[in-house]
Amino acid sequence: MLSLAALALSCTGGSKSATQTPPVEAGEQARTGQAGAPARGADSLALDARAQELADAVEGQLEGERFRVPVSASDLSFGAPAAEARITIVVFSDYQCPYCGRLHDALDEVAARSQDVRVVYKHFPLAMHGEARDAALALLAAQRQGRGLELHRVMFERPGELSELEPLARAAGIQDVEGLLVEVGQGMGAEIVDGDIELGKALAVRSTPSYFINGLPVRGARAAEQLEELIAAEREQVDHLLRAGAHPAEVYPALMALASDGPAFEARKPSGGSKARPGRPDPEVHYAVPVDGRPTKGRADALVTLIAFGDMQCPFCRKAEATLDALAKRYGKDLRIVYRHNPLPMHAQAKDAALALVAADRQGEFFAMRAALYEAAEDGRLAESGIFSTLARQLGLDIRSFKADMADPDAAKIIAEDQKVAQQFGATGTPAFFVNGRFLSGAQPEAAFAALIDEELDSAKTYLAGHRGKQSQLYAAMSKSWATKVEVPPVAAHSREAVALDGRPVRGVQPSKKRKADIEILTCLDFDCPYCARWHQTIDEALADGRYSGKVSYAVAHFPLPMHKDAEGAHRAAIAAGEQGKFWEMHDLLFADKSKRSEADYLEYARFLQLDVARFSKDLASAATQAVIDADKQLCSKLGVSGTPHSFVNGRSMRGALPMTMVGPVLDEELAGGFEAAAK
């Protein structure tokens, strides 16, 4: 399996710059290679409410660390139009770099075979390539004549002829060759080239080709088949956005709303002024992530300990595995790799796969089972019945002991402990790594790990020189002074909004003049939002939990989102059923099958619920029903709601389809007097 982290051949070196900045017209558009303004929602990376709404809907579900790479109208692009692109590949390139030429050929092939891949080029001429900068300026001049893509291809086909631009321009069909040469000589477009170089430097681009697949960094030339493998894995991630209601044109802006600024290809250098995202570990801080006797590759007296949190169903974890193996060989006795579990809720087989690993570890076959599970995941076999026992037999394990160990509560406890540690240190996605306590996220290139490991090797040697003690206790000794957790923003806000359940259908404790529940929850929801369906399950779990029985009242506010064209009809159906005392029964039916959204479907539901169908039909179409929806929309908007589900627990804002493991502590806090009491 190809790894995003695997390094390929690349050109390295500094970049030239220039001072002339004459005006330049717009660049090229996809497929045609012609100039055009960036499409709204496709190339504009202003993080508007829509992009942020989609980003919020999928945060925590996407894998790998993404970096913000803006796309502009001056960029040459080809492949899918921005409005149809699910995959955007932004390439920092140099026309004199032979590896860039190889990558261009592969990208051309991939784009020709795909309907959803857009390739965008940024200029990054290296100082060691004397003709590369003028070639970039020539490309911009060709774009002004509508022949940018043609010259782009000619220059990659004939890199040895870049010192003579005239014949290349003629081969590309440039009409005004003399004008092109004059513009290159005058440095027209230099500000665009310099802007691309500065952007590349900010992203820690040091060699070409370096590129970003929907913000995920990759370095070096790849064959078309290898690129398609990476793209296929990314399509799986994009599917989360599409299920949240995103159109292809909205994918890249939403991903950029989740992306980070800063170095993508190497560890950040300490500057004393970095700020991590709230709830996320700061790459410049050392965190005391415990080893806890977990499976290990390497020696206890290694100078550097790398702790890896993984999910056996995570494709990026599979990709990072080859990098970890390469690092183990590269650093030998100086590196210890510790493996901890963090199966993500979105991966249906990940928890059982982790249990299989724990069971195999008890028979000394952790790494053999790990390799077998990754192979099965790659082949799509993890969902097969009996797959874990099948793999155990193939590895020669004692099957009876293996099954017993998978079912052992202590095995589940190990996984739960690992997940608690991951949450404690802000490792919410996979793969996540801590190199002597310093955070590195995603399937990074080997060079990114190496840069950080080299720094930590030097620090460990310095520490050893100034402290006594056994080297086998080095990590424990150093970590005593490290941070013990990542400060995570509260799940529910430490403020309260005026929210009442008056007049709404309620699940749980029925409020009355004499009685009010200890906890009142109001959720702004959309029946066609997949995350609302997930939240519905969490609420059912909370209401069935003995700790909260008789203490919770739950109600909903109608907030159908514009992107869900059939959602408003579903809300009308729920309100109409509520007029006959069957709101919650209709609520459950609507969440159970999103394909049934016609009036005929609603009438069928009404008959199933034994409603007065004529009355239901009248209420379904009534102005009063619409008024309820409009009033709820206004209420939710006034409360700051932009996406769903968005809940208010005794007035405390709480966003997203949170699992019970996160909601439970909020409910417990409310029963104990709320955040106000906890602060005393």
* Predicted confidence (pLDDT) per residue in 202-219, tens digit: 898 988 999 999 999 998
For residue 41, pLDDT beyond 80: no
**pLDDT at residue 107 in the model:** 95
Averaged pLDDT of the chain: 88
Of 200, 224, 248, the position where a domain reaches its end is: 224
78 and 160 co-located in one domain: yes
In a domain, 174, yes or no: yes
In a domain, 145, yes or no: yes
For residue 37, pLDDT beyond 50: no
322 and 467 co-located in one domain: yes
In a domain, 192, yes or no: yes
In a domain, 613, yes or no: yes
User: What total number of domains does the chain contain?
Assistant: 3
461 and 546 co-located in one domain: no
Instruction: Report the CATH number that the domain containing residue 460 is assigned in CATH.
Output: 3.40.30.10
Write the burial class of residue 137 (CB in 10 Å: 0-12 exposed, 13-18 middle, 19+ buried).
Answer: buried
3-class SS string, 387-435: HHHHHHHHCCCCHHHHHHHHHCHHHHHHHHHHHHHHHHCCCCCCCEEEE
151 and 300 co-located in one domain: no
412 and 548 co-located in one domain: no
Q: Which two tokens stand for residue 558?
A: 């109608």
465 and 534 co-located in one domain: no
For residue 74, pLDDT beyond 60: yes
d(CA 410, CA 416): 10
d(CA 329, CA 568): 58
In a domain, 400, yes or no: yes
d(CA 57, CA 47): 14
Give percent above pLDDT 70 in the chain.
91
513 and 444 co-located in one domain: no
**pLDDT at residue 55 in the model:** 83
Least Cα distance to 61 among 526, 658, 486, 649 occurs for 658
For residue 362, pLDDT beyond 50: yes
In a domain, 58, yes or no: no
**pLDDT at residue 1 in the model:** 33
Contact between residue 60 and residue 279 where contact means Cβ atoms under 8 Å apart? no
In a domain, 485, yes or no: no
Of 479, 499, 525, the position where a domain reaches its end is: 479
472 and 514 co-located in one domain: no
The whole-number average pLDDT for the span 531-540 is 91
The whole-number average pLDDT for the span 395-400 is 97
For residue 588, pLDDT beyond 50: yes
In a domain, 370, yes or no: yes
415 and 528 co-located in one domain: no
For residue 45, pLDDT beyond 80: no
455 and 520 co-located in one domain: no
**pLDDT at residue 550 in the model:** 93
Of 479, 498, 530, the position where a domain reaches its end is: 479
193 and 318 co-located in one domain: no
Q: Which two tokens stand for residue 70?
A: 């803006």
413 and 552 co-located in one domain: no
Quick check: pTM over 0.85? no
For residues 284 and 618, which has the higher predicted lDDT (pLDDT)? 618
First to last CA, the chain: 54
- Domain extent, residue 170, equals 11-39+66-224
Give percent above pLDDT 90 in the chain.
69
